[in-house]
Chains A and B, each alone.
Chain A
Amino acid sequence: MSAKPFLKIDHVDKIFPLGGGKEYVALRNVQLDIRENEIVSIIGHSGCGKSTILNLIAGLDTISNGTILLEDKHILAPGPERAVVFQNHSLLPWLSVYQNIEMAVRKVLGEDLSNSEIRDHVMKYIDMVNLGHAKDKYPGEISGGMKQRVGIARALSIEPKVLLMDEPFGALDSLTRANLQDHLMRIQMQTGNTVVIITHDVDEAVLLSDRVIMMTNGPEATIGEILEVNLPRPRNRLELQNNPEYLRCRSAIIEFLYSKFAKDDE
């Protein structure tokens, strides 16, 4: 891993104006360096501003104070080098699985590729999430888990530097979620993407991440603790059940969320 930070979040505040001269300080002084090829998850109670951080990195929302740098370049607007997997998949329902990915590939990589190269490229990512059999189906015809796999394939197909995932498996049942977590870990080992995942699931955070960023509660939320997860990859959820490092990380997060920064209304 390079010593120099790949993605640098530097003293970032996010303030939402509420009208009538009032304002809501969502994030205060967030400071985080993310390394290349790292999987980082950001965990916290709802309302802690974790999705706001993701939107700031994506450029979908504007920073109030501070800077975010990706490879020393300021982030001012959204761009395909920071692909987003949205919580509710956000597939375009009038396009098939193949067309959803093709549209992104044509827009982002299209100038350099011939038609047959585009087809091969799209199919590579469809196969990566094992959806070759469903490539001509429409989003309305496939399950929630399959839709989210298409969302991941679309995000990866434009070869982003950073993959941003906003509670990507939050809306899925636990068996489907486990399946997609395994998919994600396998794909990330192949592609070496840098991944930032927003989650509220303790096991998901430990299983997937190299580091877990724990957020304090809002308003004026900030990073409370950062936990290194020293587990070798590939990781197997069955073997981890009684692994001392896994259990240590798990209880550290639970301790943080339910003792130090407990939230009454959850």
Chain B
Amino acid sequence: MVSKYSNAVLLPLLLFGVVIAIWSAISAGIPGFPPPSEVWSELLIVLSDPFYNNGAGDQGIALQLGNSLARVFGGFALAIAVGVPVGLLIGMSKSAYTAFNPYIQILKPVSPLAWLPLALFVFKEVNTTAIFVIFVTSIWPIIINTALGVRSVSEDYLNVARVLQLSAFERVFQIILPVAVPFIFTGMRLSLGIAWLVIVAAEMLTGGVGIGFWIWDEYNNLNYSHIIIGIILIGIIGYILDAAMGLIADFFDYRKRGLK
């Protein structure tokens, strides 16, 4: 009998074997494509000294990832600072919604990378440019989900606020935000996920220190095993970011606190 728990370990391991087999077949067929064994030994080397720093072009993997994460969190924090108030405003005011909505709908589908050359021209500096691109990436889901959260506040709660004569300030903090916060965190979680996708591409274009440029640089160095290492590490960090945001979101969600 195979228990549910051992299934959760055995099945992915089984698939892992299949993936390794296919990967080995590909590397046997394409000259120069690194086999799993080579990537594994390279990974150990890369992880053995993650913090070395030999100047701008040559730094350890942890510093590369750290630079990318810093840009993501910088742009993400700016997007929260701007997006949440704007979302609250357009959620609460029909006029503000009418004014903002066409621009949001038009700007939302634009790839954040399309802003990159313009930002580079304005800021003339890659770090600020990358942060700006992440800001543009993150802001739309935050605005849209915050406004959705505000609009999902039940009329009954607002009537309670009216009977108690809550001020606009009290209404926002005691009625609207408790309802909207889970929505805001959903928006933040979406934003952070997309931001982590976009930073890799943005850094490939801007250059400098960062995991995106590191991967591009290793392509130019013909060091393909490092590209695969980059993909794996980006995936693991993206998973950790998403799981952490999920935990934070649950912590602020009254529906998951009150009802056990």
Residues in chain A within 8 A of chain B (CB atoms): 58-60, 77-80, 82-84, 86, 88, 90, 92-94, 96, 103-104, 107-108, 138-141, 158
| Nearest chain A CB to B158 CB, angstrom units | 10
| Nearest chain A CB to B245 CB, angstrom units | 20
Given A84-B159, A86-B159, A103-B174, verify A93-B255 contact (CB < 8 Å): yes
Beta-carbon contact of A90 and B160 below 8 Å: yes
Of listed A58, A83, A107, residue having the most chain B CB within 10 A: A107
Given A79-B165, A107-B170, A158-B164, verify A90-B159 contact (CB < 8 Å): yes
Interface string of B22-56 (1 = CB under 8 A from A): 00000000000000000000000000000000000
Chain B residues contacting A92 (CB-CB under 8 Å) are 157, 160, 174-175, 178
Nearest CB in chain B to that of A86: its residue: B156
| Nearest chain B CB to A247 CB, angstrom units | 37
Of listed B170, B175, B255, B258, residue having the most chain A CB within 10 A: B258
Known: A60-B163, A82-B163, A139-B258. 15 other contacts (CB 8 A): A59-B162, A60-B159, A60-B162, A77-B162, A83-B163, A90-B154, A90-B156, A90-B157, A92-B157, A94-B178, A94-B254, A107-B166, A138-B259, A140-B259, A141-B258
In angstroms, Cα B178 to Cα A138, docked, is 14
Interface string of B140-171 (1 = CB under 8 A from A): 00000000000000101101101111100010
Interface CB pairs A-B, < 8 A, 30: A59-B162, A60-B159, A60-B162, A78-B159, A78-B162, A78-B163, A78-B165, A79-B165, A80-B163, A80-B164, A80-B165, A82-B163, A84-B163, A86-B156, A86-B160, A90-B154, A90-B157, A90-B159, A90-B160, A92-B178, A93-B255, A93-B258, A96-B258, A103-B164, A103-B174, A140-B258, A140-B259, A141-B258, A141-B260, A158-B164
In angstroms, Cα B164 to Cα A82, docked, is 9
Chain A residues contacting B255 (CB-CB under 8 Å) are 93, 140
Per DSSP, chain A at the interface is loop
Chain A residues contacting B260 (CB-CB under 8 Å) are 141
Chain A residues contacting B159 (CB-CB under 8 Å) are 60, 78, 84, 86, 90
Beta-carbon contact of A138 and B156 below 8 Å: no
